[in-house]
């Protein structure tokens, strides 16, 4: 009888961002390195330099537990907080926490501003309204709020910059930090340490039960047993941002939210054109609380994705974001008071439906025929714009589909981990480089000033809001 | 073909629905005859109604179906009703507080996530709430009401187990644990994990002994509680709870209602403050309830003592036998000889007259073979109706609708 020698191909999900330098260092140190596994890389698919059966793909850390749990990847490396965030909502996820890799230690904290009126959980000041909790970890935040028996609370999920919201625009924040001194540097004080985190090796349960991944584990174990662990010292040096200036809260001031990321530079230029001078918004070090030359305006720099929800809830009065994010919000909450006030015209992108160039479809009807023929059922759809994608699929009567929310770098999902992508593009060049093609254009999006319909009518500061809107409008008209 | 039904959801087929209605109808008519009034609360409620301390345990809250509504941009979550009592308490606060005592009942579904998907995630219950009375006779009233309903449903060998949340909470205090320990112990006990109590070594050995007397023994009359009350070093708080417990049980003794005192029988009684009870048949739990004097103030109402009960329709459906056959006896099938317009018209007219006369009249233009007792064929004048008694194998002719009714009515 012949013994079949079977090689298990193993797929590994590796983190971008904060965890990348130490992870890359560790993998190289234990002879498990990948070519091009670096922050600035443009290729997402990586091949092990030593083990021919091992391949990897780079993801946003938050995507990794999901990708491993659904079985697209056998193994993954990410910080424990993202694993717990998934398990808080889906305790039955097919995930195995295989090994604590020990580096990038930190904690998940429930915190409040040092300058607000909350100093401890035992003495929460009485309040008629709900506690506003801002967080990148909505599942964990909700579970802790329930466990703490906070009677009325609202969780505002955000894409980032959670630390900058309290005390003016939120009461509590659930966030990751290395230690309490790092929290204090952000003007925050810990109310409760939810749990400690570090980098973990996680595995898909099915893969762990059926595949032999022992060689990979052995390499890693070798590293964990080494006396010196130089990778633990490796720290990510991201472009700095600070939340340093002492908040000077005033009920009468107009709260303006400014975008970070790609929209920061054109927004900064636009504000300059409008005669508004901001300190700390341009250049290398971003101050998340830049100062204005108008003393009746306060500004914070947050993620453009998060602005419509913040505006709808009156946490900010005005915000500069993209139409794409406003629409994504309005498709989910049609009666939301968030609305576009001025089209600022810059930052134009198209929101498009994208498939792999190898897929034999020219439009959505072709794609539906493929689904009908059960060649693609269910259709896997990846997008950062989860509500736009959902509406696009509904409008086109695509029934059998799975929506995969992503947190950036979505183009890496096709073709292995998704069939269709709803994504924005300026020129289409990046898409083409990744062997993708545009199948449909949903709409054009530009930067816009958004506000809250209700507070424009009734807010005590409606006149101030209106004059700031007017400044923006005139700047657009004169250019 | 694989089923497209949601995991943990259940279809009720005609036979199931008949059992369901039998339980519901029996419940409704009993409640009405005891002077209770029916209410309905919405399926959707705000989550915060259930999150106040002392309403649902964190474990129960982790299983609620909560989501953001289409206008949920404020982050205010809604839930599919996870519990029947709390919404009725809300309804009472908002509408009925002018009534000195409100006696309400309802038939509602409640939702809770169940991981395997093999159990029902949507469960139906018959609920009763008696709001505004602290009198132990009210606790007894709802227990006897439930017993009567179960009796009317033909269910025998019912076991009634009693416990007392106030007594348990007072006893936990006697253990003199630090507040964190006490809170975590209570949460575990609320989730039904009674073993944790057995492992407690407290400084107060009297309390420990009392605890094991309660955990290990099953009382069968109010004497059991009187014995406990007579023990030395019982605190005043604990004694007053035991007094209340004993008062209810001695009333039950006087009314010849059998029960067992078993403190470990209840779980998930987060909002209960006094007597708790559970009904079961063999190992099937078929109902439970208790006193919840703190719930209404917790969700924003005035101090209002109250107690209530829920009977679980899903297990009850398997225990009942609705009286079958009665209705098919009088079923009449109406058929047209031809499909001419006039014939079809008189078929519909005949069916209407028969329904008005109290019969089940089914139309058949598909020539189906059905075993109804009566078959009426409609044909052309002069003798338009042929009436066939399929049971007795008799056949007659009728010239008018009145004659048809006479033939069928005369043979009953």
DSSP element (H, E) containing A26: helix A20-29
Whether the CB of A141 is below 8 Å from some CB of chain B: the reply is no
Cβ pair A149:B53 closer than 8 A: yes
CATH 3.90.580.10 describes domain A241-340+449-478: no
Assess B116–A contact: CB distance below 8 Å, yes or no.
Answer: no
Give A386→chain B minimum CA distance, Å. Answer: 15
Is pLDDT larger for residue B149 or for residue B58? B149
Q: Does A130 touch chain B (CB under 8 A)?
A: yes
According to the model, what pLDDT value does residue A292 have?
84
pLDDT at B288: 94
Count residue pairs from A and B with Cβ separation < 8 A.
53
Chain B closest-CA separation from residue A467 CA (Å): 27
Helix (H) or strand (E) holding B77: strand B77-80
- With 70 as the cut, is the pLDDT of residue B367 above it? yes
Does B402 lie at the interface with A, CB-CB under 8 angstroms? Answer: no
CATH superfamily for domain A349-445 = Periplasmic binding protein-like II (3.40.190.10)
Interface of A with B in 439-478 (CB under 8 A): none
The band of B331, judged by pLDDT with boundaries at 50, 70 and 90, is: confident
Q: How do residues B154-163 score in pLDDT, each as one tens digit?
A: 999 999 999 9
Chain A partners within 8 Å of B71 (Cβ)? 333-336
The shortest CB-CB distance from A336 to any of B53, B61, B73 is to B73
For chain A, domain boundaries: 10-104+198-233, 106-196, 241-340+449-478, 349-445
Residues of A in contact with B74 (CB under 8 A): 154, 312-313
Quick check: A92 contacting B, CB < 8 Å? yes
Residue pair B338/B347 in contact by the 8 Å Cβ criterion: no
Model pLDDT for residues B15-31, shown as the tens digit of each residue: 999 999 999 999 999 99
Does B117 touch chain A if contact means CB atoms closer than 8 Å? no
B48 and A156 within 8 Å at the Cβ level: the answer is: no
Per CATH, the number for A106-196 is 3.40.190.10
Q: Does A336 contact chain B (CB < 8 Å)?
A: yes
E strand or H helix that includes residue B24 = helix B14-33
Residues B190-249 have pLDDT tens digits of 777 777 777 776 667 777 777 787 777 788 888 888 888 888 778 888 889 999 999 999
Model pLDDT, residue A233: 77
- A65 touches A79 (CB < 8 A): no
Q: Which of A146, A150, A309, A390 to mutate to test the interface with B (most CBs of B within 10 A)?
A: A146
Cβ pair A154:B72 closer than 8 A: no
Stretch 23-82 of chain A: residues touching chain B, C-beta under 8 Å: none
The arithmetic mean of pLDDT across residues B330-358, rounded, is: 91
Return the pLDDT at A2. Answer: 44
Least confident residue range of A435-439, B49-53, B142-146: B49-53
* pLDDT reading at B179 higher than 80: no
Give me the pLDDT at residue A4, please: 46
User: What confidence tier does B329 reach under pLDDT thresholds 50, 70, 90?
Assistant: low
**Locus of tokens 């930190």:** A106
Sketch out chain B's domains with CATH numbers: 14-317 (3.30.930.10), 326-410 (3.40.50.800)
Phi, psi for A115 (deg, rounded to 5): -105, 5
Nearest to B58 among A92, A146, A156 (CB): A146
- With residue A365 as reference, give the H or E element that holds it: helix A364-372
Chain B neighbors of A151, CB-CB under 8 A: 48, 51-53
Q: In angstroms, rounded to a whole number, what is the distance separating the alpha carbons of residues B291 and B306?
A: 6
The side-by-side arrangement of strands in the sheet containing A188-197 is: A153-157, A131-135, A172-177, A106-113, A188-197
Which of the pair, A240 or B380, is modelled with greater confidence? Answer: B380
C-beta atoms of A313 and B61 within 8 A: no
Q: Which CB contacts under 8 angstroms, 24+ apart, belong to A411-414?
A: A411/A44, A411/A354, A411/A436, A412/A44, A412/A45, A412/A57, A412/A58, A412/A59, A413/A382, A414/A354, A414/A355, A414/A356, A414/A382
Contacts with B, A 338-377, CB within 8 Å = 338
Measure the CA–CA gap between A253 and B84, rounded to whole angstroms. Answer: 46
Q: How many CA atoms lie within 13 A of B104 on its CB side?
A: 27
Q: How far is CA B180 from CA A119, A122, B174, B177, B183, in A?
A: 20, 12, 15, 8, 5
Q: List chain B residues with CB under 8 Å of A138.
A: none
Position A1 scores a pLDDT of 43
| Cβ neighbours of B52 in A, within 8 Å | 149, 151
Residue A211 sits at the chain B interface (C-beta within 8 Å): no
Cβ of B51 within 8 Å of Cβ of A150? The answer is yes
Residues of B in contact with A92 (CB under 8 A): 115
Question: pTM of the full predicted structure?
Answer: 0.83
| Angle at CA of residue B316, ends B312 and B321, nearest 5° | 155
Q: How far is A97 from chain B (nearest CA, A)?
A: 21
Averaged over B90-118, what is the pLDDT?
Answer: 93
- Per DSSP, the three-state class of A197 is strand
pLDDT at A179: 94
Structure tokens at A252: 């009468």
CA–CA separation, B121 and B112 (whole Å): 5
Which of A91, A147, A333 minimises the CB distance to B73?
A: A333
Which CATH fold topology does A10-104+198-233 show?
A: D-Maltodextrin-Binding Protein; domain 2 (3.40.190)
Q: CB distance from A399 to chain B under 8 Å?
A: no
Find which of A114-123, B120-129, B222-231, B330-339 is predicted with most confidence, using mean pLDDT.
Answer: B120-129
Do A10-104+198-233 and A106-196 have matching folds?
yes
CB of A146 within 8 A of CB of A217?
no
Q: Which residues of chain A have pLDDT under 70?
A: 1-6, 128, 235-249
**The pLDDT of residue A235:** 63
Per-window interface: B 362-391 vs A, CB < 8 A: none
- Mutation target for B interface from A150, A151, A335, A336: give the one with most B CBs within 10 A: A151
Binary contact (B71, A91; C-beta < 8 A): no
A155 interfacial to chain B (CB closer than 8 Å): yes
**B320/B18 Cα distance (integer angstroms):** 10
Backbone angles phi, psi at B113, to 5 degrees: -70, 135
> Are A146 and B76 inside 8 Å of each other by CB?
no
Q: What is the mean pLDDT of residues B47-54?
A: 80
Contacts of A54 (CB under 8 A, 6+ apart): A9, A10, A12, A32, A47, A48, A216
Query: What residues of chain B lie within 8 A of the CB of A334, using their CB?
Result: 70-71
B40 Cβ partners below 8 Å, 6+ apart?
Answer: B106, B108
- Average pLDDT over chain B reads 88
ipTM over 0.95: no
Q: What is the pLDDT of residue A3?
A: 45
Q: Does A313 touch chain B (CB under 8 A)?
A: yes
Q: Which two tokens stand for residue A181?
A: 């001194």
B62 shares contact with chain A (CB less than 8 Å): yes
Residue B8 C-alpha, separation from nearest chain A C-alpha, in angstroms: 15
B52 touches chain A (CB under 8 A): yes
């Amino acid at each position: 009888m012949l013994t079949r020698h079977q090689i298990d191909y193993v797929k590994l999900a590796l983190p971008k961002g904060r965890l990348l330098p130490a992870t890359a260092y560790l993998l190289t140190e234990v002879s498990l390195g990948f070519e091009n596994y670096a922050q600035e890389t443009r290729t997402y698919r990586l091949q092990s330099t030593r083990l021919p059966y091992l391949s990897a793909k780079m993801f946003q850390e938050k995507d990794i537990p999901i990708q491993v749990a659904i079985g697209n990847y056998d193994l993954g490396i990410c910080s424990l907080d993202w694993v717990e965030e998934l398990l808080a909502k889906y305790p039955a996820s097919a995930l195995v926490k295989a090994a604590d890799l020990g580096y990038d230690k930190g904690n998940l904290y429930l915190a409040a501003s040092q300058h607000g009126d909350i100093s401890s959980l035992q003495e929460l000041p009485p309040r008629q309204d709900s506690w506003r909790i801002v967080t990148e970890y909505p599942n964990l935040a909700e579970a802790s709020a329930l466990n703490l028996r906070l009677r009325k609370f609202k969780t505002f999920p955000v894409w980032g910059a959670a630390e900058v919201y309290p005390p003016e625009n939120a009461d509590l924040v659930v966030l990751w930090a290395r230690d309490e001194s790092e929290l204090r540097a952000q003007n925050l004080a810990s109310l409760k340490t939810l749990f400690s985190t570090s980098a973990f090796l996680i595995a898909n349960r099915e893969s762990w039960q059926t595949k032999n991944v022992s060689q990979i584990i052995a390499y890693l174990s070798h590293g964990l047993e080494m006396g010196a662990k130089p990778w633990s010292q490796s720290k990510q040096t991201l472009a700095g941002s600070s939340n340093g200036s002492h908040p000077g809260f005033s009920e009468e001031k107009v709260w303006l939210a400014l975008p970070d990321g790609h929209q920061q530079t054109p927004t900064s230029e636009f504000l300059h054109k409008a005669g508004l001078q901001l300190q700390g918004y341009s250049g290398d070090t971003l101050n998340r609380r830049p100062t204005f030359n108008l003393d009746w305006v306060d500004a914070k720099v947050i993620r453009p994705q998060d602005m419509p929800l913040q505006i709808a809830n009156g946490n900010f009065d005005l915000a500069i974001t993209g139409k794409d994010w406003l629409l994504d919000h309005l498709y989910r909450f049609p009666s939301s008071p968030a609305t576009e006030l001025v089209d600022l015209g810059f930052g134009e992108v198209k929101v498009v439906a994208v498939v792999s160039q190898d897929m034999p479809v020219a439009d959505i009807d072709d794609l539906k025929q493929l689904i009908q023929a059960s060649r693609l059922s269910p259709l896997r759809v990846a997008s950062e714009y989860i509500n736009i994608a959902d509406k696009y699929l509904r409008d086109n009567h695509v029934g059998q589909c799975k929506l995969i929310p992503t947190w950036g770098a979505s183009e890496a999902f096709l073709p292995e981990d998704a069939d269709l992508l709803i994504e924005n593009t300026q020129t289409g060049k990046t898409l083409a480089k990744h062997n993708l093609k545009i199948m449909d254009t949903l709409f054009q999006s530009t930067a816009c000033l958004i506000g809250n319909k209700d507070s424009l009518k009734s807010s005590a500061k409606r006149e101030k809001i209106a004059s700031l809107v007017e400044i923006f409008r005139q700047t657009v008209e004169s250019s | 073909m694989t089923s497209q039904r949601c995991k943990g959801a259940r279809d009720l087929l005609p036979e199931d629905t008949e059992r369901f209605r039998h339980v519901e109808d029996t419940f409704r008519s009993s409640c009405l005859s005891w002077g209770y009034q029916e209410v309905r609360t919405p399926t959707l409620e705000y989550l915060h109604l259930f999150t106040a301390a002392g309403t649902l345990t964190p474990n129960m809250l982790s299983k609620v179906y909560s989501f953001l509504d289409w206008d949920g941009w404020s982050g205010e979550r809604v839930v599919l009703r996870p519990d029947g009592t709390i919404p009725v308490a809300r309804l009472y606060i908002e509408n009925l507080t002018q009534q000195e005592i409100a006696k309400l009942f309802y038939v509602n579904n409640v939702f809770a996530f169940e991981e395997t998907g093999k159990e029902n995630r949507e469960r139906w219950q018959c609920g009763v709430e008696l709001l505004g009375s602290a009198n132990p006779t009210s606790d007894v009233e709802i227990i006897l009401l439930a017993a009567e309903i179960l009796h009317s449903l033909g269910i025998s060998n019912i076991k009634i187990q009693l416990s007392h949340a106030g007594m348990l909470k007072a006893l936990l205090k006697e253990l003199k644990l630090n507040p964190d320990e006490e809170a975590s112990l209570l949460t575990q006990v609320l989730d039904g994990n009674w073993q944790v109590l057995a492992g407690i070594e407290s400084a107060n050995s009297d309390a420990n002994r009392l605890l094991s007397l309660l955990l290990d023994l099953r009382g069968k009359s109010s004497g059991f509680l009187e014995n406990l009350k007579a023990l030395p070093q019982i605190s005043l708080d604990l004694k007053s709870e035991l007094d209340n417990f004993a008062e209810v049980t001695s009333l039950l003794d006087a009314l010849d209602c059998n029960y067992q005192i078993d403190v470990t029988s209840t779980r998930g009684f987060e909002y209960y403050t006094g007597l708790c009870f559970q009904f079961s048949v063999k190992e099937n739990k078929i109902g439970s309830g208790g006193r919840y004097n703190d719930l209404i103030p917790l969700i924003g109402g005035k101090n209002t003592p109250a107690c209530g009960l829920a009977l679980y329709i899903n297990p009850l459906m398997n225990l009942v036998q609705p009286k079958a056959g009665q209705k098919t006896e009088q079923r009449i099938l109406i058929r047209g000889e031809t499909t001419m317009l006039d014939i079809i018209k008189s078929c519909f007219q005949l069916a209407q007259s028969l329904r008005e006369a109290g019969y089940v009249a089914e139309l058949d233009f598909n020539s189906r073979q059905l075993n109804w007792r009566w078959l009426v064929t409609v044909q052309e004048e002069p003798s338009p109706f042929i009436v066939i008694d399929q049971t007795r194998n008799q056949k007659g002719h009728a010239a008018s609708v009145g004659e048809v009714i006479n033939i069928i009515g005369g043979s009953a």
